[in-house]
């Protein structure tokens, strides 16, 4: 019974990762996701909702993009590992880490916060590489 579950899981991960097996496609998709987050925050959240704090920090925006490009390559590496923990790291990067870079660039997040978040994610990535 357990072997059937493992076989179905392996087939599912192969189907999902088959589309993003080429690294350039994954990097482009992650960069488009980051661009969409930045545009949504800049055009809608920051300008429309007055309760949100809105200041553009060019230094943090540039650093956020550089960190996102570096993390896009780690997502490619996670995708090739095809383990459950690698899939969780991909999801956490997309749901949590990339929005942090947008927050630090447009919402007044400090450079220190971006630095410490990057160090934390680098540490997690090193542990994931095995």
| Tens of pLDDT, residues 24-42 | 888 888 999 999 999 988 8
| pTM recorded for the entire structure | 0.76
Q: How far apart are CA 124 and CA 122, in angstroms?
A: 5
Angle at 87 between CA 86 and CA 90, to 5 degrees: 90
Are the C-beta atoms of 79 and 21 separated by less than 8 Å?
Answer: yes
Give residue-wise pLDDT tens across range 79-105: 888 788 888 888 899 999 999 999 888
Q: What is d(CA 86, CA 84) in angstroms, rounded to the nearest whole number?
A: 5
CA-nearest of 78, 86, 72 to 24 is 72
Q: Yes or no: say if 26 and 72 are a contact pair by the CB < 8 Å rule.
A: yes
């Amino acid at each position: 019974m357990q072997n059937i579950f493992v076989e179905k899981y392996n087939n599912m991960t192969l189907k999902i990762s088959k589309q993003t097996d080429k690294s350039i496609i994954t990097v482009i998709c992650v960069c488009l996701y980051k661009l969409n987050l930045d545009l949504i925050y800049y055009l809608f959240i920051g300008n429309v909702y007055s309760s949100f704090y809105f200041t553009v920090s060019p230094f943090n925006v540039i650093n956020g993009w550089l960190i996102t490009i570096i993390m896009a390559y780690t997502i490619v590496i996670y995708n090739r590992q095809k383990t459950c923990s690698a899939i969780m790291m991909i999801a956490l990067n997309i749901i949590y880490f990339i929005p942090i870079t947008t927050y630090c660039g447009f919402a007044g997040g400090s450079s220190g916060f971006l630095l410490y978040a990057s160090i934390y994610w680098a540490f997690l990535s090193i542990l994931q590489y095995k």
